Amino acid sequence: MTRAQLNALRKNLEADAAALERELRSRDGIVIERAADTLDEVQNATARELEIQTLDVETGRLREVRAALRRMAEGTYGICVECEEEISEKRLNAVPWTARCIACQSRADAHRAAGDSYDEAA
Ligand SMILES: [Zn+2]
């Protein structure tokens, strides 16, 4: 991966992080507001659950994006955190925040699907 490609990916990741931070800040308000509204408690329970689920996903994504930016700063970006092989450029372009090569990611996903606890922050 060339320096220019890396810079382009970093710009994308920085933009992603900024967008997610904005999104999470605005969602925070919504969740708290809905949680405080006891009248529509039952009706809103499902919507709130969905909201919180989305919040979880976005929080996780933000953590991954920040970790990717950290790896860029450290010069370890593009190296799989599990097997230390290079992650393919195609994969990095599609999923620039990824920390794992496809093989290791599939294994991680399989672990998660099986209900094993898996260290996402790795
Ligand atoms: Zn790997």
Q: Is residue 69 part of a domain?
A: yes
Q: How many angstroms separate the first and last alpha carbons of the chain?
A: 23
pLDDT bucket at 120, cuts 50 / 70 / 90: low
> How close is the Cα of 89 to the center of ligand 1, in Å?
14
Q: Is residue 106 part of a domain?
A: yes
* CATH code, domain with 72: 1.20.120.910
**Domain range holding 28?**
3-113
CA distances from 95 to 34, 45, 51, 67, 102 (A): 33, 33, 24, 13, 11
pLDDT bucket at 29, cuts 50 / 70 / 90: low
User: What's the pTM?
Assistant: 0.77
pLDDT at position 115 is 81
Long-range contacts of residues 30-39, Cβ cutoff 8 Å, at least 24 apart: 31/55
pLDDT at position 26 is 84
> How close is the Cα of 119 to the center of ligand 1, in Å?
15
Q: Is residue 119 part of a domain?
A: no
> How close is the Cα of 110 to the center of ligand 1, in Å?
14
Q: Report the share of the chain in percent with pLDDT over 90.
A: 61
pLDDT at position 121 is 46
The count of structural domains within the chain is 1
pLDDT in tens, 31-67: 555 555 565 666 677 887 888 888 999 999 999 999 9
pLDDT at position 49 is 85
> How close is the Cα of 12 to the center of ligand 1, in Å?
23
Q: Using CB atoms within 10 Å of the CB of residue 101, give its burial: 0 to 12 exposed, 13 to 18 middle, 19+ buried.
A: buried
Q: Is residue 118 part of a domain?
A: no
Q: Is residue 25 part of a domain?
A: yes
